[in-house]
Amino acid sequence: MPVEIERKFLVANSDWKLKISKEITIKQGYLSSNPERIVRIRIAGEKGIITIKGKTVNTTRAEYEYEIPLSEALELMELCEKPLIEKARYEILEHGNLWELDVFEGDNKGLIVAEIELESENQEFILPAWAGKEVSHESKYYNASLIKNSFKNWG
């Protein structure tokens, strides 16, 4: 079974902007945002993707991801729960690890989250100087949670 092992961090400063290797615009929606079984539709640049994720245990969950025709992704996006998630994703190589920084727009404007995918939950890595508080276990930072309680409402 394919798995995703991911840790999330808030961003402490803007030093990450000096290290960007790639940028992509992402729009995504959820056919199911139930934490037991998430089904996500994503448009990343000009690519359509469907992802099915299982329940998160610690920082690990089952993840199945497949490319689909862009036209179908656009149609499925109409069926998704609202609001949709809009963000710019920046890739940064730091200390030999790939980090993805999501700069949210729309109802989640102002939120920036950095993610690192690991090979195991115990994998060691060096935390970049721009990374702040870890929020891996705080569900309000999950994209599927942001459609129910947007960052703009956190007060």
Catalytically active residues are: 30
- What long-range pairs does 66-71 form, CB within 8 A, spacing at least 24? 70/43, 70/46
Cα 66 to Cα 48, 50, 52, 73, 144: the distances in Å are: 9, 5, 9, 11, 18
Cα 57 to Cα 54, 62, 100, 120: the distances in Å are: 9, 10, 21, 13
Stated as kind and residue range, the H or E segment containing 49 is strand 47-54
Backbone angles phi, psi at 46, to 5 degrees: -110, 20
Could you tell me the two tokens for 81?
A: 């729960």
- Of 125, 135, 15, 143, nearest to 84 by C-alpha is 143
